[in-house]
Amino acid sequence: MDFNKIIEKLPYDKPFLFVDTLSHVGMDGVSGSFNFSKNLDFYRGHFKEHPITPGVILTECCAQIGLVCLGIFLLSENYETKTNDLTVAFSSSEMEFYQPVYPGDTVYVSSEKLYFRFNKLKCKVKMYNAAKELVCKGELAGMIKYSTHGA
Amino acid sequence: MEKENYYQQLKGIVKPYLPEDVTVDDISPDSHFINELNINSANLVDIVLDVEDAFDITLENDDMDQMQTVSDAMAIIDKKRSSK
């Protein structure tokens, strides 16, 4: 499956799309990156006159790359799918944070599948910065499926 | 007797996934996992994975769809165990 096709199927758009590119996608995991533009609106308030990317946004970035992109790929192995009927729900996150991410930084996320069963995908995720320092890591899980008609 | 053992074992598996406002004493054979025990669909998957490990069985998508109540789960465990 073409990596760009996976990104096209993501149910997000600006200002809440946190995936730029995918560099690896396979049955066992995925890697991708995102550049945090200096113009992102939340930098005006987090923190006052001292912009740092919020941890929840780093978690979201890990989830979009690590869970949703991987989930779309795994589902594509089983189903002929349309673009508009994907349903995702974040169900759990346990993250630890090590390095700050500043406006303009690019981050690299790698995700390793723990299991994908009955539409629940659970992964180990790690995020690195351009200096290859660990930014955050943890375990994320969510439900992902293509709805059938009427369901 | 074996059924009672399954039931007690199943209650033990479900317990850690119960929300704070539901206790293990609220579980009865008729309890609906999602509607009555307030277990979300993501935790229901974890319960199924724990059931697979505890009873050494494998559930399919159809089994998951049918597993709405505690007694549904018992019936599936019973069926899978006896066909082993």
Helices B70-82 and B41-55: crossing angle in degrees, nearest 10, is: 30
CA distance A92 to B40: 11
Tens-digit pLDDT profile for residues A32-55: 999 999 999 999 999 999 999 999
Of A91, A118, A143, the CB nearest to B64: A118
Q: Is residue A19 part of a domain?
A: yes
Q: Where are the domains of chain B?
A: 2-82
- State pTM to two decimals: 0.92
In order, the DSSP letters of A16-70 are: S----EEEEEETTEEEEEEE--TT-GGGGTTTTTS----HHHHHHHHHIIIIIIH
pLDDT at A151: 43
- The residues on A that touch B, with CB distances below 8 Å, are 89, 91-92, 115, 117-120, 141-143
Tell me whether residue B74 is exposed, middle or buried, using C-beta atoms within 10 angstroms of its C-beta: 0 to 12, 13 to 18, 19 or more: middle
Report B:12-41 residues touching A (Cβ under 8 A): 40-41
Q: Is residue A142 part of a domain?
A: yes
Of B41, B43, B49, the CB nearest to A117: B49
Structural domain of residue A142, as residue ranges?
Answer: 3-146
Tens-digit pLDDT profile for residues A119-150: 999 999 999 999 999 999 999 999 999 876 54
Domain count, chain A: 1
Q: Is residue A110 part of a domain?
A: yes
Q: Which residues of chain A does B40 touch, with a Cβ-Cβ cutoff of 8 Å?
A: 91
User: What's the ipTM?
Assistant: 0.89
Looking up residue A67, the CATH number of its domain turns out to be: 3.10.129.10
Residue type, B26: D
Contact check, Cβ <8 Å, B61/A141: no
Assigned superfamily of B2-82: ACP-like (1.10.1200.10)
Q: Is residue A151 part of a domain?
A: no
Whether A24 is a known active-site residue: answer: no
